[in-house]
Structure 1
């Protein structure tokens, strides 16, 4: 009996010691991984706590490992795989929803994820086409399933489509853009008979690189004088140019957020500049032709003073380290509005627009400038700036209040535009 008691006491001591060691290890890891986030990033206590969990997880899972990659391609493939896995872990568990009928199919050779309401219980007979972000090299409909499924239920339209366009570098420009245009034409031609869609009530929306594709599609469709016209465009923290990677917002991000696993310039410059991302940070990729066009079309004086004050990075740009090989390679892209919609000189007669920008985003300034230019060109435009927001925050709409607020704003604008179309 005494021996049994002694054994039990020893077991308890071992178990207690193990718990203490694990606890100490967890505390040490937390201390090592802790990085202070900008004070204004998110605005509620719950969001701030969530971000102090989300950001270290992202740092551990993809940010640090990808920096060990010997090549840019290794970094890209690691990031793709990791983010795809994480999105499945935080996304919907079942391919079923009580409010939606859903299917993954191919339209004109392009993979799409289709959502339409059960029993056609909708507020509008319009359609929404969503184009995901990811710097043209990341992302797919599976990664965005949580966002698009939520949007499809919130918007309450006859049809919601998410496009799985082909990515670079496997598919060169303009392959992905053409995929998105094929899906748009498919909805216009087949949406009325298949889903009861009014083809005059189509809103196209996208985030980041998806916002770029939305802007390019609307410009190209206007150039062709295509009918029916797109009813509205929604650009969510859009990537619109690559001629200036030393804007106020780029410089602020480098200074205040370097080393954090929040989307920055490595993703934003991940397509034509993919092999040269490091050199391009000084604008060493920009030749004279691209520089002149940028100066003509990007007026930083239109930005709010808060974007340009000391708190947001009036530190001087880095000295330009010119690279002629890089200039020759990317100039045709930098000056092409199909690739860089900001470089379109005429923005008149485009669909009404909602543009959302975030404070903690390298793309903040170009989104604000594009919104200003659309307004100046006579396009009805609403610009919403989230001073506590960050790039790609919508992907965390289940975890963050600020992302849910943004979704509500997107819904309000979209449904208002669709309702107003009833009387036009």
Structure 2
């Protein structure tokens, strides 16, 4: 009888293991989506992304599509990414050589990353503005990236905690960043020993938008001191043309992946514009077809997007079939709501006509990113305006890959490229 009693728990254990294995395999099969050819550069990177990308879909992409209100979609995504980000960058080890402190500069919280005992390789600094579509992200999410760069460059970094939409709309984020930056230019030398003529501004995605806008506004008013440089990492620069090749490639090959998608850009940009997307979500389909661009704005948009035809003729995703531009679904309500913003360079910095007085610039773009083309266009316009410009398009990269800087070789390489360019920009002043 004892022998029979012992066999029952063992059988139950094996049954549980078998069921769990089947469920795991079934879930993995259901979530599996083959990555596009060329997505990430090494076998290790592809393996990591075959795990990470489905996990992101489960954590935020699928759940966020279940909400009836767009604002709830934002809040869920914000919370999910905040939690997931804590599992990234764990391999970063700065050996206790970076002092990190919060400050309040003119009402804007900032986090300062300073080499211990101020043992810097330069007397310059970097102002970092995080991304997240103006609605997501925070300083903590980029903690490991900024701390790594501060350590490897032996340079002081300032990461700015600007307010997010939909709670704070345009131009609130710009004002927060400028308030902190003005404080730094006034007191940076006295408090940190920084030569304020050796300051580089840096931002990714929406943070790249804010960095671009701030650099443009300073140049337009001949603000002193001049920036030593700007680093724009897959920047979000416009929403007047959402049918570029990189947008159309997403629709034809990347739809359904947990990557930045056209609908999200429309939602986040319109929230940033102060439009209640809980009430106006029905406008999104027309926006992603360019139906939100009023006829009288189209000539100005085409002028500012002047290098679009060159890019569309030369960058074809390894001859992958790209759909032709589809029919525009005009929506006069969307046109009226977006008219004050689409050609406003403080909102869409690609629309600023005069780029001649801007600091040396590095523009980072990624092949598998809907924002690729606008970054490439901006880089070419900067070069045409006489601005010293370094443009790197990572052929195997994707939007937000720097958040995986310690997990992916491609992302780590891009960080090294950024660090070297930034140090050169600082040292050349």
| Fold agreement, TM-score > 0.5 | yes
C-alpha distance in 2 between matches for 1:339 and 1:97: 40
Cα distance, 1:271 vs structure 2: 3.7
Counterparts of 1:257-296 in structure 2, within 5 Å, are 257-274=254-271, 275=277, 276-296=283-303
Aligned residues of 1:84 and 1:139 also touching (Cα < 8 A): yes
Count of residues paired in the alignment: 418
Aligned residues of 2:91 and 2:406 also touching (Cα < 8 A): no
Match in the other structure for 1:332: 340
Aligned residues of 1:136 and 1:270 also touching (Cα < 8 A): no
Counterparts of 1:22-421 in structure 2, within 5 Å, are 22-91=20-89, 98-157=96-155, 159-274=156-271, 275=277, 276-299=283-306, 300-303=308-311, 305-308=313-316, 311=319, 314-421=322-429
Cα distance, 1:358 vs structure 2: 0.3
Q: Deviations over 1:242-261 (max 9, x none)?
A: 10001110010111000011
Cα distance, 1:105 vs structure 2: 2.3
Aligned residues of 1:248 and 1:312 also touching (Cα < 8 A): no
SS in 1 for 2:419: helix
Structural RMSD (CA): 1.8
C-alpha distance in 2 between matches for 1:310 and 1:128: 36
TM-score (norm 2): 0.94
C-alpha distance in 1 between matches for 2:321 and 2:381: 23
Q: Deviations over 1:308-331 (max 9, x none)?
A: 478355421121111111101111
Match in the other structure for 2:13: 15
The runs of 5 or more residues in structure 2 that have no matched partner are 272-276, 278-282
Q: Deviations over 1:17-44 (max 9, x none)?
A: 2111111111111111111111110010
Cα distance, 1:14 vs structure 2: 1.7
C-alpha distance in 1 between matches for 2:188 and 2:300: 39
Aligned residues of 2:163 and 2:173 also touching (Cα < 8 A): yes
Q: 1:94 to 1:394 in 2, by over 3 A?
A: closer
Q: Deviations over 1:351-406 (max 9, x none)?
A: 00000000000000010010000000000000000010000000111211110010
- Larger displacement relative to structure 2 (254-263 or 141-150): 141-150
Aligned residues of 1:96 and 1:102 also touching (Cα < 8 A): no
The runs of 5 or more residues in structure 1 that have no matched partner are none
Q: 1:352 to 1:29 in 2, by over 3 A?
A: same
SS in 2 for 1:136: coil
SS in 2 for 1:338: coil
Cα distance, 1:97 vs structure 2: 5.8
Cα distance, 1:151 vs structure 2: 1.8
- Give the number of the structure with larger relative contact order, counting CA–CA contacts within 8 Å between residues 6 or more apart: 2
